[in-house]
């Protein structure tokens, strides 16, 4: 549910241990696109997103989410950027921890697709929404920096 706020945000996404690196905690400056390793830049932005959610850092989320951002939570709730930010600010979506356990990134020019797996401890509208989630996030490079434009989350259920 990284983004049940943006995960909702969840939906984005704020992820405990792996997101608490010094670089991830400095989400104030968005990662500039680099020709050398855009995959690493997107992976770091995923961590920054999770950190911002856990820290309720709306300013960082404002920079990470494109104005046209649209997310779909694991419960099929769709939401634009304004709702994602609003639910985090209001306390409707509360994340105690998010831990990314996997990130893979494919870059296609000025577009990148990130696949993440995470464990989170969270509540939405007072209900426990803790669990293991998978997300597919689409990032676009605009004016030299990456922003997430879409996110889709699914709850991982080990009993198949």
| Full residue range of the structural domain in which residue 20 is found | 3-155
pLDDT (average), residues 108-133:
96
Whole-number pLDDT of residue 70: 97
Q: What is the mean pLDDT of the chain?
A: 82
Within a domain: 84? yes
Give which of 68, 92, 70 is closest to 142, Cα–Cα.
68
Count of CB atoms situated within 10 Å of the CB of 18: 19
Within a domain: 60? yes
CATH of the domain at 47: 3.10.450.50
Within a domain: 50? yes
Tally the domains of the chain.
1
Whole-number pLDDT of residue 36: 84
Whole-number pLDDT of residue 32: 56
Within a domain: 160? no
Whole-number pLDDT of residue 16: 29
Poorest-pLDDT segment among 5-9, 89-93, 119-123, 126-130: 5-9
List phi, psi (to 5°) of 89. Answer: -65, -40
Whole-number pLDDT of residue 157: 80
Within a domain: 145? yes
Within a domain: 108? yes
What Cα–Cα distance (Å) separates residue 50 from each residue in 26, 69, 132? Answer: 12, 16, 14
Within a domain: 75? yes
The torsion of the CA quartet 7, 9, 12, 13, rounded to 10 degrees, works out to -50
* pLDDT range class, residue 25, cuts 50, 70, 90: very low
């Amino acid at each position: 549910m990284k983004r049940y706020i943006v995960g909702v945000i969840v939906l984005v996404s704020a992820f405990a241990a792996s997101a608490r690196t010094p670089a991830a905690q400095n989400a104030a400056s968005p990662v500039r696109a680099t020709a050398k390793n855009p995959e690493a830049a997107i992976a770091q932005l995923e961590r920054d997103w999770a950190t911002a959610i856990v820290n309720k850092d709306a300013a960082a989320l404002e920079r990470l989410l494109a104005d046209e951002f649209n997310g779909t939570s694991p419960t099929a709730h769709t939401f634009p950027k304004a709702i994602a930010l609003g639910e985090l600010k209001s306390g409707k979506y509360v994340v105690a921890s998010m831990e990314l356990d996997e990130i893979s990134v494919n870059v296609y020019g000025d577009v990148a697709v990130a696949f993440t797996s995470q464990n989170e401890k969270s509540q939405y509208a007072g209900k426990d929404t803790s669990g293991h989630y998978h997300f597919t996030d689409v990032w676009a490079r605009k004016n030299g920096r990456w922003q997430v434009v879409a996110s889709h989350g699914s709850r991982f259920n080990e009993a198949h």
